[in-house]
Amino acid sequence: MGFVKRYWIAGLVLSLVIIHAVIIGYVRSEATRIKVTASAEIPLGLYYVQSEDRNWLTQLRVHLLVTPERRIASKATIEHHRWQLHEAVEEKLRQLDPSLLRDAVLLEIKDQIKLAVEETLEEGIVEQVVVNDRIDIPIDHFDYQKPTDVTHPDSIYTSAPAADVDFDEIEK
């Protein structure tokens, strides 16, 4: 009984340290697993293409697929140039033949978007362009809601700036 009275605090501290180590190990292993399975798709934005007869708008949501190893650096680069990229893609879509929208896979449009992005960024970080949410909207039913504050970026671009990210800590 004297042994328990003498060392009960040491046993309590030792058990708390072991519990703490188990929790930290679990959290780190989960963080590593999440980092590995994170998506390499970066949203580029929502675009509208007007039909030849000007009665329809086609909505396209564009995502860029980048290499998983350079996902964080690519996202930082794309966010840094987001409005230049948006303008370049819009210009490219306005210059395209509207008949290309009849293609269900949109191969030519994806190639042109990829080309515009690579020309703007002056580096080949894009592996593939993904276009989804393709919707044809009649012009008289189109209701474009303007943002309340035009200087406030879209929610997809509100992550930490690349200058604030410690890449060495992320790689661990």
In a domain, 30, yes or no: no
In a domain, 156, yes or no: no
State the CATH number of the domain containing residue 127: 3.30.479
Look at residue 86 in the predicted model and tell me its pLDDT.
92
DSSP secondary-structure letter at 68? G
Domain count, the chain: 1
Please say if the pLDDT value at position 156 is more than 80. Answer: no
1 vs 86, higher pLDDT: 86
Look at residue 163 in the predicted model and tell me its pLDDT.
54
In a domain, 148, yes or no: no
- Distance between CA 76 and CA 159 in Å, rounded? 9
Give the pLDDT confidence of 76-122 residue by residue, as tens digits. 899 899 999 999 999 999 998 888 888 888 999 999 999 999 999 98
In a domain, 23, yes or no: no
DSSP bridge pairs for 50: 57
Please say if the pLDDT value at position 155 is more than 60. Answer: no
Look at residue 160 in the predicted model and tell me its pLDDT.
53
In a domain, 161, yes or no: no
Q: Compute the mean pLDDT over every residue in the chain, rounded to the nearest whole number.
A: 82
In a domain, 158, yes or no: no
- Give CA 95 to chain center in angstroms: 26
Q: The tokens 């276009």 sit on which residue? A: 131
In a domain, 22, yes or no: no
Place 151 in a pLDDT band, splitting at 50, 70 and 90.
Answer: low
pTM of the model: 0.62
Q: Which long-range contacts (CB under 8 A, 24 or more apart) does 89-95 make?
A: 89/44, 89/45, 89/47, 89/62, 89/113, 89/116, 89/117, 90/47, 91/116, 92/116, 93/47, 93/49, 93/60, 94/49
Look at residue 91 in the predicted model and tell me its pLDDT.
93
Domain that holds residue 44: 39-141
Give the pLDDT confidence of 3-59 residue by residue, as tens digits. 777 888 889 999 999 999 999 999 998 887 776 667 888 999 899 888 888 888 888
Q: Looking at this protein, which amino acid is placed at residue 157?
A: Y
In a domain, 94, yes or no: yes
Q: What tokens does 124 get? A: 């080949």
Give the pLDDT confidence of 138-149 residue by residue, as tens digits. 887 766 666 555
